[in-house]
Amino acid sequence: MPTPEPSTGTFIGRDTETVASDFEQALRNMQAQMARSLSFGTTGLHEPEPARASKKPRRKAAEILAGVDLLSSLETPKAEVAKLDIPTDYFDLAQRVGLSGSETMLRARCLSAFQREELAVYDTAAVSRYLDGICRNINEAIHKAGELPQGWGSQGEARWSWKWLEVEGAAPIKPEWPRYQATVPIEAMRVMERAQNVLTEAGVPKSSYAWSASEVYEYPDPFLALGFMSKNLWFVLAHWDEPGFSILKA
């Protein structure tokens, strides 16, 4: 009876040891493939990345800004006593004819009162430019240092800006707003008292305005402002240094 031909897949002419060796090599290849698949990413199979070196801890902003002149190229605002020539019966007449409620009239009434008390007033726009410039210098110094300080996001999305914070103890315009928590020097409080007294005499109720101080991170010398939020009207009346707490003369 003739011998049947070997079927497909039969190892022809190979001994048992060779077949076993090939099987073991195939098994090792399969195990290596499985190990690589554990690190499979969006771009395909790749070898595991080497361990990264520990990052250097971030410095505080104050350390990065040490020695930086934050007032570089900035013009310090100056305060001046208003020089208005308003007839003594002007505001009484405006009240009688119904013209006393406008922002322009309130501004004139306040400046006239400050003038009588010889209270110097800062140009609000100049103060805003000055504080904007300080923030710009802070951000440029951080960028130049090439490192992100503590508190900044990983992509550096945080940037310094300034804001008015209502002084603790003053009549709040909105109770939920943050308050200025630092110490207000006695000279600034005297300015507040003088302004409040003369405005009361001029018929401006204390409940219609609030006191605020400017807040800029890493710049300690705030301005003091009296604000009528319903009119978006501000009068900057003082500027003091910290920690000396003395009024900075214009």
* Proportion of the chain above pLDDT 70, given as a percent: 67
202: exposed, middle or buried (C-beta count within 10 Å: 0-12, 13-18, 19+)? middle
- The residue behind tokens 């002149």 is 69
User: Which pLDDT tens digit goes with each residue over 175-203?
Assistant: 677 788 888 899 999 999 999 999 999 98
What pLDDT score does 152 carry? 66
Which helix H or strand E contains 235, and what residues bound it?
strand 233-239
- The residue with greater pLDDT, 54 or 132, is 132
**pLDDT higher than threshold 60 for residue 231:** yes
What pLDDT score does 33 carry? 63
How far is residue 104's CA from residue 115's CA, in Å, rounded to a whole number?
16
Q: Report which residue type is found at 109.
A: R
**pLDDT higher than threshold 70 for residue 134:** yes
How far is residue 230's CA from residue 159's CA, in Å, rounded to a whole number?
29
What pLDDT score does 46 carry? 45
What pLDDT score does 201 carry? 94
What pLDDT score does 3 carry? 46
DSSP H stretches of helix in 10-123: 16-37, 61-64, 90-96, 103-117
pTM above 0.75, yes or no: no
User: Which pLDDT tens digit goes with each residue over 18-63?
Assistant: 545 665 666 666 666 655 544 444 444 444 455 555 567 878 888 8
Name the DSSP letter for residue 36. Answer: H
Q: Identify the sign of the CA torsion 119, 125, 223, 214.
A: positive
Mean pLDDT, rounded, of the chain: 78
How far is residue 127's CA from residue 103's CA, in Å, rounded to a whole number?
20
How far is residue 77's CA from residue 130's CA, in Å, rounded to a whole number?
7
Name the DSSP letter for residue 208. Answer: G
